[in-house]
């Protein structure tokens, strides 16, 4: 019988070493080593709890806590040797601790398993990631409010079906983005509550025979609640799936914003200009200025959608409790968090630097009969049924298409051909300013409402 082992944490039951390829294939240290800070934090809290439970002496606790702190220093200095044969971040750190402390280092794992250890580490890591993402999201929303306030009076065409529909203000359009992101903020904050539940103490799947005090570790690690079932504690990845769902929605919103930025910077629209630092050129066409940042964010959305689908697929067939499948949870989760945070950062840097081309926007709003609904509303106020008004204005628009005139460019006599209810006062509602100012209610596009919404938005950010 061979005494050779590839992993001292579990090799006693085996009669031959793991195949070298299998060792590489099953190892996760290449990607899960980014959990090192949270693994050390969880281990230090576990050691402190074991001391209060009478399992470790104070001297052993102090040696373990200090030893782990020194290991963190090695990792951050780049002198730590990561070993594939030790499989993961947890065993690499524990092996180094044992190397430094001997028998005392071996006592750290008392009353826990890698199953509840990794579940704890991922939750601690994701909690910090959500906090960092929320910082970038808040920064982006603050930039949107700043630009919306500056452009509260800037008129542009509003679209449905990408066809000119009604005039709106650019500030109003930007505030639509703000609302989308506000829902993303709510989802991430709500998701964080379920992330912040502690599985540590579940051990492998059934709990432990040691007199652990889970409330102590819970408080030390800043968790809001303790997982109520050990089987679920080690096998639950709902929190990761929920995060990827929230991240997917946020990326979908950023992708929609990106699509509009790409359209608006095109020669066909020319609504805005993006500073050169957010664009690139062409290797062959010297005139090109490509909006690469929004294009790339639009493309990266697929990565996050893929992470969500991947995690759902990963979990759908697993029986309780922990299975090796769950090693595959980290890379998609890591990538989703990185992608969302970086995309938000790029947008937060870029949005305040957007330069609207106000005259081009205004001229575009004048085309496409964008005040047709205003004319119909005008006739309704004269006492006509809306459906009749709709038909009357439809005839007027047809005349405008044939004659090449917008409604506001027609004479009173021309307009009265379609209804004798039209009077000189009609021109006040056919102007772009008249159209946007008339929508003066909460959620409307009137400049006064845009400025009021900006103030509400700032109050919302201040409360977070």
**What is the end-to-end Cα distance of the chain in Å, rounded?**
63
Confidence of residue 18 (pLDDT cuts 50, 70, 90): confident
Q: Are 14 and 64 in contact (CB under 8 A)?
A: no
Q: Are 325 and 314 in contact (CB under 8 A)?
A: yes
Q: Which residue has the tokens 């040696």?
A: 63
pLDDT at 3 over 50: no
pLDDT at 1 over 60: no
- Alpha-carbon distance of 447 to 434, in angstroms, equals 11
pLDDT of residue 259: 98
Domain(s) labelled CATH 1.10.275.10 in the chain stretch across 17-110
Alpha helices in 114-237 (DSSP H): 114-150, 170-195, 214-221, 230-235
Average pLDDT, the chain: 94
Q: Are strands 163-169 and 225-226 parallel, antiparallel or unpaired?
A: unpaired
pLDDT at 5 over 70: no
| Per-residue pLDDT tens over the stretch 435-461 | 999 999 999 999 999 999 999 999 999
DSSP conformation class of 111: T
Classify domain 365-463 at the CATH topology level.
Ribonucleotide Reductase Protein R1; domain 1 (1.10.40)
| Per-residue pLDDT tens over the stretch 407-430 | 989 999 999 999 999 999 999 889
pLDDT of residue 21: 85
| Per-residue pLDDT tens over the stretch 350-359 | 999 999 999 9
pLDDT at 9 over 70: no
CA-closest candidate to residue 112, choices 96, 98, 94? 94
Query: Cα dist. 421→416, 427, 434 in Å?
Result: 7, 13, 19
- Alpha-carbon distance of 312 to 240, in angstroms, equals 10
pLDDT of residue 368: 81
pLDDT of residue 8: 54
pLDDT at 11 over 70: no
Mean pLDDT lowest among 9-18, 268-277, 279-288, 380-389 = 9-18
pLDDT of residue 2: 38
pLDDT at 4 over 70: no
pLDDT at 317 over 90: yes
Annotated active-site residue 2? The verdict is no
Task: Look up residue 389 and give its two tokens.
Answer: 């008004």
pLDDT of residue 73: 98
Domain(s) labelled CATH 1.10.40.30 in the chain stretch across 365-463
Domain(s) labelled CATH 1.20.200.10 in the chain stretch across 115-362
Confidence of residue 26 (pLDDT cuts 50, 70, 90): confident
Q: Which residue has the tokens 């379920």?
A: 194
- The more confident residue out of 21 and 109 is 109
- The more confident residue out of 120 and 17 is 120
- Alpha-carbon distance of 443 to 441, in angstroms, equals 6
Give the mean pLDDT of 325-352: 97
CA-closest candidate to residue 87, choices 64, 117, 66, 61? 117
Question: Residue 246's CB: how many other CB atoms inside 10 A?
Answer: 26
Share of residues in the chain with pLDDT > 90 (%): 88
Mean pLDDT lowest among 183-197, 206-220, 393-407 = 393-407
Confidence of residue 10 (pLDDT cuts 50, 70, 90): low
pLDDT at 36 over 60: yes
pLDDT at 219 over 50: yes
What CATH number matches the domain at 115-362, 3.40.50.300, 3.40.50.450, 3.40.640.10, 1.20.200.10?
1.20.200.10
Integer Rg of the chain from CA: 31
pTM over 0.75: yes
pLDDT of residue 94: 98
pLDDT at 210 over 70: yes
Annotated active-site residue 435? The verdict is no
Task: Look up residue 330 and give its two tokens.
Answer: 């980290």
pLDDT of residue 322: 95
Query: Cα dist. 402→277, 394, 405, 406, 411 in Å?
Result: 45, 12, 8, 10, 15
Task: Look up residue 138 and give its two tokens.
Answer: 């808040």
Classify domain 17-110 at the CATH topology level.
Fumarase C; Chain B, domain 1 (1.10.275)
Q: Which of the following is catalytic: 2, 3, 15, 161?
A: 161
Give the mean pLDDT of 240-250: 98
């Amino acid at each position: 019988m061979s005494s050779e082992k590839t992993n001292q944490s579990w090799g006693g039951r085996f009669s031959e070493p793991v195949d070298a390829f299998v060792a590489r294939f099953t190892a996760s240290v290449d990607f899960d080593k980014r959990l090192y800070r949270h693994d050390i934090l969880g281990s230090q809290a576990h050691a402190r709890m074991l001391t209060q439970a009478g399992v470790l002496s104070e001297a052993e606790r102090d040696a373990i806590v200090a030893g782990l702190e020194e290991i963190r220093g090695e990792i951050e200095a780049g002198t730590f040797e990561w070993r594939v044969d030790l499989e993961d971040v947890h065993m690499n750190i524990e092996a180094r601790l044992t190397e430094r402390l001997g028998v005392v280092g071996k006592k750290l794992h008392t009353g826990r398993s890698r199953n509840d250890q990794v579940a704890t580490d991922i939750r601690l890591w994701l909690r910090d990631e959500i906090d960092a993402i929320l910082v970038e999201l808040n920064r982006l929303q603050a930039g949107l409010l700043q630009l919306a306030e500056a452009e509260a009076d800037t008129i542009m065409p509003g679209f449905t079906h990408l066809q000119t529909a009604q005039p709106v203000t650019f500030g109003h359009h930007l505030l639509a983005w703000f609302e989308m992101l506000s829902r993303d903020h709510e989802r991430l904050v709500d998701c964080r509550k379920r992330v912040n539940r502690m599985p540590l103490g579940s051990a492998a799947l059934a709990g432990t025979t040691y007199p652990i005090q889970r409330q102590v570790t819970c408080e030390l690690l800043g968790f809001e609640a303790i997982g109520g079932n050990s089987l679920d504690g080690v096998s639950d990845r709902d929190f990761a799936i929920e995060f990827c769902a929230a991240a997917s929605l946020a990326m979908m919103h950023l992708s929609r914003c990106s699509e509009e930025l790409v359209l608006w910077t095109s020669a066909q629209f020319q609504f805005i200009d993006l500073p050169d630092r957010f664009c690139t050129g062409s290797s062959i066409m010297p005139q090109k200025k490509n909006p690469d940042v929004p294009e790339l964010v639009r493309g990266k959305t697929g990565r996050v959608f893929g992470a969500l689908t991947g995690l759902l697929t990963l979990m759908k067939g697993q029986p309780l409790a922990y299975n090796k499948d769950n090693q595959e949870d980290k890379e998609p989760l890591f990538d989703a968090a990185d992608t969302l945070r970086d995309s938000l950062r790029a947008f937060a840097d870029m949005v305040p630097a957007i330069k609207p081309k106000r005259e081009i926007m205004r001229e575009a709003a004048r085309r496409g009969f964008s005040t047709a609904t205003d004319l119909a509303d005008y006739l309704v106020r004269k006492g006509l049924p809306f459906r009749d008004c709709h038909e009357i204005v439809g005839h007027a628009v047809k005349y405008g298409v044939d004659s090449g005139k917008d409604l506001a460019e027609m004479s009173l006599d021309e307009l009265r051909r379609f209804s004798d209810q039209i009077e000189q006062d009609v021109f006040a509602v056919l102007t772009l300013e008249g159209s946007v100012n008339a929508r003066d209610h909460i959620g409307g596009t009137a400049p006064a409402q845009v400025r009021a919404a900006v103030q509400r938005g700032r109050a919302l950010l201040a409360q977070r």
